[in-house]
Amino acid sequence: MYFQRNFRWQEIPLHLYPVLYFFFVFTADEEDTVIDSDGRQERAKDKERKKERDRKRRRNVARRASSARKEGKELEDRPEREERRGRKKRDKEGKGKGKGGEDERQEEVKNDTVAKIQKNFSNENTRKLEQKEMEVVGEEDGDTEGKRKNGRSKKDEKKEDKEKHESSEEEEDEEEKEGEEKPDVLSPEELEKLKEEVDERKKLISTLRGKPWPMRKKLLTLRESHEFVEKYEGALGKGKSRKLTVICYRDFENFKTACVPWEMKIKEIESHFGSSVASYFIFLRWMYGINMILFGLTFGLVMVPEALMGRPYGSMPRKTVPRADEANAMDFAVLWDFGGYAQYSVLFYGYYNSQRAIGWLKFRMPLSYFLVGVGTVAYSYMVVIRTMARNANEDGGGDNNSFNFSWKMFTSWDYLIGNPETADNKFASITTSFKEAILEEQESRKDDNIHLTRFLRVLANFLVLCCLAGSGYLIYFVVRRSQKFALEGLESHSWWERNEVNMVMSLLGMFCPMLFDVISALENYHPRIALQWQLGRIFALFLGNLYTFIIALMDEINLKREEEEVLKLNMTIWEASLYNGTLGANSTAPPITVHPADIPRGPCWETMVGQEFVRLIVSDTMTTYITLLIGDFLRAVLVRFLNYCWCWDLEAGFPSYSEFDVSGNVLGLIFNQGMIWMGAFYAPCLPALNVLRLHVSMYLQCWAVMCCNVPQERVFKASGSNNFYMAMLLVILFLSTLPAIYTIVTIPPSFDCGPFSGKSRMFDVIQETLESDFPAWFGKVFSYASNPGLVLPFLLLMVLAIYYLQSTSKSYKQANLELKKKLQTQNEENKKKTKMAAQKAAMDLEEAQNARSESPRQQRNNNASQQSYRGEKNTVAFI
Partner 1 sequence: MVSGAIALAFLPLVLTFIIRYRYYFVLFYRAVLVRMWYDCKTGLSREERAFQYVLTHAIPGDPESILETFDLWCSKVEFISNIGPKKGKIMDRMLSEHCPLTVLELGSHCGYSTVRIARALPLGARLYSVEMDARNAAIAEKIIRLAGFDDDTVELIASPSDEVIPRLRADYGLERLDFVFMDHWKKCYRPDLQALEGSGLLGKGSVVLADNVLFPGAPNFIRHVRKSGLYEWKIHRATLEYSKGIRDGMAELVYQGIK
Shortest distance (Å) from residue 518 CB to partner 1: 5
3-class state of residue 9 by DSSP:
helix
Which of 407, 511, 794, 812 forms a contact with partner 1 (CB under 8 A)? Answer: 511
Please tell me the distance from the alpha carbon of residue 367 to that of residue 441, in angstroms, as a whole number.
64
- Told to check if 588 binds partner 1 by CB under 8 A, we report no
Q: Is 500 in the site for partner 1 (CB under 8 A)?
A: yes
Instruction: Kindly state whether residue 515 participates in binding partner 1, applying the rule CB under 8 A.
Output: yes
In terms of CB distance, is 610 or 711 closer to partner 1? 711
**Interface with partner 1, residue 643, by CB under 8 A:** yes
Nearer to partner 1, 76 or 651 (CB): 651
Q: Which is nearer to partner 1, 134 or 522 (CB)?
A: 522
Can residue 656 be called a binding residue for partner 1 (CB under 8 A)? no
Query: Which residues are CB-neighbours of 272 under 8 A, at least 6 positions away?
Result: 417, 418, 419, 421, 422, 705, 706, 711
H or E element in which residue 277 lies: helix 275-298
Does 229 contact partner 1 by CB under 8 A?
no
- Do the beta carbons of residue 636 and residue 657 sit within 8 Å? yes
Residue 630 within binding range of partner 1, rule CB under 8 A: no
With contact defined as beta carbons under 8 Å apart, do 67 and 180 qualify? yes
Find, among 2, 52, 49, the residue nearest to 23 by Cα.
2
* Binding test (CB under 8 A) with partner 1, winner from 80, 91, 497, 773: 497
Using CA atoms, how far residue 315 sits from 308, 367, 369, in Å, is 14, 22, 21
Mark out the alpha helices in 344-449 (DSSP H runs). Answer: 365-394, 404-411, 420-446
Shortest distance, position 496 Cβ to partner 1, whole Å: 5
Q: Would you mind telling me the total number of residues written for the chain in this entry? A: 879
Does 508 bind partner 1 (CB under 8 A)? Our answer is: yes
**Do residues 220 and 49 touch, judged by C-beta distance below 8 A?**
yes
State yes or no: residue 653 binds partner 1 (CB under 8 A): yes
Sign of CA dihedral 758, 763, 769, 775: negative
Q: Which stretch binds partner 1 (CB under 8 A): 15-23, 504-512, 620-628, 723-731?
A: 504-512
Among 255, 332, 360, 648, binds partner 1 (CB under 8 A): 648
Q: Which is nearer to partner 1, 374 or 474 (CB)?
A: 474
Q: Which of residues 517-536 bind partner 1 (CB under 8 A)?
A: 517-519
Q: Which is nearer to partner 1, 131 or 643 (by Cβ)? A: 643
Q: How far is the CB of 454 from partner 1 (least distance, A)?
A: 21
Tell me if 514 contacts partner 1 by CB under 8 A: yes
Site string for partner 1, 451-490 (x = CB under 8 A): ----------------x---x--x--xx--x---------
Among 55-63, 307-315, 643-651, 871-879, the segment contacting partner 1 (CB under 8 A) = 643-651
Q: Which is nearer to partner 1, 338 or 516 (CB)?
A: 516
Q: Residues 339-368 vs partner 1: string with x where CB under 8 A?
A: ------------------------------
- Helix (H) / strand (E) containing 116: helix 103-137
We find the least distance from the C-beta atom of residue 714 to partner 1, in angstroms, to be: 15
HSE of 428, CA atoms in CB hemisphere, 13 A: 11
The answer to whether residues 698 and 665 touch, using CB atoms and an 8 Å cutoff, is: no
* 727 binds partner 1 per the rule CB under 8 A: no
Based on the shown chain and the rule CB under 8 A, indicate whether residue 877 belongs to the binding site for partner 1.
no
198: Cα separation from own chain's centroid: 36
Closest separation in Å from C-beta 637 to partner 1: 17
CB of 513: closest distance to partner 1 in angstroms? Answer: 9
Q: At what angle do helices 605-627 and 662-679 cross, to 10 degrees?
A: 160
Establish if 774 lies at the interface with partner 1 (CB under 8 A). no
Size of the site for partner 1 (CB under 8 A): 30
Nearest-angstrom CA–CA distance, 504 and 434? 43
Cβ nearer to partner 1, comparing 386 with 481: 481
Q: Which residues contact 64 (CB under 8 A, 6 or more apart)?
A: 78, 79, 179, 182
Query: Residue 6, interface with partner 1 (CB under 8 A)?
Result: yes
Q: Which of 136, 259, 585, 652 binds partner 1 (CB under 8 A)?
A: 652
Q: Which of 747, 730, 665, 763 is nearest to 377 (CA)?
A: 730
Q: Please tell me whether residue 494 binds partner 1 under the rule CB under 8 A.
A: yes
Q: Is 616 in the site for partner 1 (CB under 8 A)?
A: no
Q: How many helices (H) and strands (E) does the chain have?
A: 30, 2
Q: How far is the CB of 557 from partner 1 (least distance, A)?
A: 23
Tell me how far, at minimum, the Cβ of 495 lies from partner 1, in Å. 10
The one segment of 108-116, 513-521, 620-628, 681-689 that binds partner 1 by CB under 8 A? 513-521
Instruction: Kindly give the interhelix angle for 662-679 and 686-708, rounded to the nearest 10 degrees.
Output: 170
Closer by beta carbon to partner 1, 518 or else 792: 518
State the nearest-atom distance from the C-beta of 514 to partner 1, in Å: 4
Pick from 512, 550, 614, 753 the residue near partner 1 by CB under 8 A.
Answer: 512
Round to whole Å and give the CA distance between 534 and 879: 61
Q: Is 651 in the site for partner 1 (CB under 8 A)?
A: yes
Shorter beta-carbon distance to partner 1: residue 329 or 463:
463
Our finding on whether 507 is near partner 1 (CB under 8 A) is yes
Nearer to partner 1, 478 or 662 (CB): 478
CA proximity to 605, closest of 404, 726, 753, 386: 753
Q: Does 649 bind partner 1 (CB under 8 A)?
A: yes
Using CB under 8 A, pick the residue from 34, 191, 293, 503 that binds partner 1: 503
CB 347 within 8 A of CB 305: no
Distance CA 548, CA 505 (A): 10
- Cβ(732)–Cβ(312) under 8 Å? no
Name the DSSP class of 358: B
C-alpha to C-alpha distances, 602 to 376, 555, 655, 681, nearest whole angstrom: 28, 17, 54, 19
d(CA 367, CA 766): 7
The one-letter amino acid at 812: Y
For residues 533 to 572, the per-residue mask of contacts with partner 1, x marking binding by CB under 8 A and - elsewhere, is: ----------------------------------------
Work out how close the CB of 668 gets to partner 1 at its nearest, in angstroms, rounded to a whole number.
Answer: 16
Helix (H, G, I), strand (E, B) or coil at 447: coil
Name which of 670, 722, 729 is nearest 275 in CA terms. 722
| 3 vs 381 by CB, closer to partner 1 | 3
Contact pick of 504, 531, 675, 676 for partner 1 (by CB under 8 A): 504
Per-position b or e across 753-792, b if 16+ CB within 10 A of its CB: bbbbbebeebebbeebbbeeeeeeeebeeeeeeeeeeeee
Which spans of this chain sit near partner 1 (rule: CB under 8 A)? 6, 467, 471, 474, 477-478, 481, 494, 496-497, 500, 503-504, 507-508, 511-512, 514-515, 517-519, 643, 647-649, 651-654
